Amino acid sequence: MTLTRRLALAAALAVPLAAAPALAQTQITVQHALPANSHTGVGALTFASAFERLTNGRYKVVAQRNDNEREMIESVQIGTIDCTFTSTGPVGNFVPEVRIFDVPFLFRDATHARGVLDSEIGQQVLARFPARGLVGVIWIENGFRNMTNSRREIHTPADLRGLKIRTMENQVHMRAFTTLGALPTPMAFSELVPALQQGTVDGQENPISVIVANNLNQVQRYMTMTRHVYSPQVMICNPQTVGRLNQADRALFQQAAWEAQAANRARVTADDEAGVAELRRRGMTVVTEVDTAAFQAALAPAFAEWERTLDAATLRRIRDWR
């Protein structure tokens, strides 16, 4: 077992052992956004089958879809469901230290993002969850987010001016879009398609994997490969659910989570590779020439604010990570 894995096992599941025997709970309910056949569904279903297999069927894991991520986290917190696979979108409202990973243009590529999240930096943030009544088990991902809209091609920040863009309920993302001159409108993903159909918003931003899995090409004409922010996901569980597992089952639980992470990341990589061609095939206009430097320059006031309001030393460590 690598150091990272030992750290993850120690930190992520560091909640006191309860007196109850391992067999007291045989069913675990896990909710995830998006269809079963998406990178998120694949992660949750891999966890489910791996944990059932590793425990020889002593546990049954029921996976359910819920496109309202804030609601899923609240349900985990109060214990009406056991675990969720969620983007970090709303997580910063529960565990503010997570917001550092939502800063635009922080990660160079998937290797950088995955490396940081699996390192001590990511584990330290997972270790903040128990103070908020949650257990952060493992980092998975959505991938890099791209902008879509129904009005025009976006090449520079000037093209974004005045567009109503749905964002997640995430104050870092909202600040970014305001700074870029757009009108951010936060809402749960479950409300997005009707909002696009009714023109309440002009556009949205999500990784290719999400755009393909949800057929957003049916309600959006243009996509620009802005890759403006990496979108982590995290598996979050209820502390009592984890506390009811005995030591051996906790190790199997973590093992199942690693299998889920590998399946999720492989699927995001595959979706990213095939997605542009697929969306063009479905009739979308995909802009790949993007003035990234202009987006970064336009965000300068927001970057300065995040240096003050987030953890500047950790931001530097993340940028310098090799």
**Which residues contact ligand PAF (rule: CB under 6 A)?**
33-34, 67, 69, 87, 89, 142, 168, 189, 206, 210, 231, 233
The residue among 25 and 178 lying less far from ligand PAF, judged by its C-beta, is 178
Shortest reach from residue 142's CB to ligand PAF, in Å: 5
Residue nearest to ligand PAF (CB): 87
**Pair of tokens at residue 41:** 């569904």
Q: How far apart are CA 314 and CA 319, in angstroms?
A: 9
Least Å distance, CB 219 to ligand PAF, is: 14
Nearer to ligand PAF, 168 or 256 (CB): 168
**Burial of residue 301 (number of CB atoms within 10 Å: 0-12, 13-18, 19+):** exposed
Cβ pair 276, 212 in contact under 8 A: no
State the nearest-atom distance from the C-beta of 189 to ligand PAF, in Å.
4
Residue 169 Cβ vs ligand PAF, minimum distance, rounded to whole Å: 8
> Is residue 34 a contact partner of residue 214, using CB atoms and an 8 Å limit?
yes
Q: Which is nearer to ligand PAF, 11 or 138 (CB)?
A: 138
DSSP 250-284: HHHHHHHHHHHHHHHHHHHHHHHHHHHHHHHHTT-
Least CB distance to ligand PAF at residue 1 (A): 29
Phi, psi of 134 (to 5 degrees): -140, 155
> Exposure pattern of 43-67 as b/e (b: 16+ CB <10 Å)?
bbbbbbebbbebbeeebebebeebb
Name which of 229, 60, 232, 67 is nearest 140 in CA terms: 232
Nearer to ligand PAF, 189 or 222 (CB): 189
Closer CB to ligand PAF, 5 or 282, in the complex:
282
Coil, helix or strand at residue 16: coil
Distance from C-alpha of 202 to C-alpha of 152, rounded to nearest angstrom:
10
Helix axes 110-118, 247-281, angle to 10 degrees: 170
Q: Minimum Å distance from CB 33 to ligand PAF?
A: 4
What's the rounded Cα separation, in Å, for the pair 195 and 197? 6
Return the number of the residue (235 or 252) whose C-beta is nearest ligand PAF. 235
Q: Which is nearer to ligand PAF, 227 or 250 (CB)?
A: 227
The CB-of-209 to ligand PAF minimum distance in angstroms stands at 9
Distance between start and end Cα atoms, the chain: 22
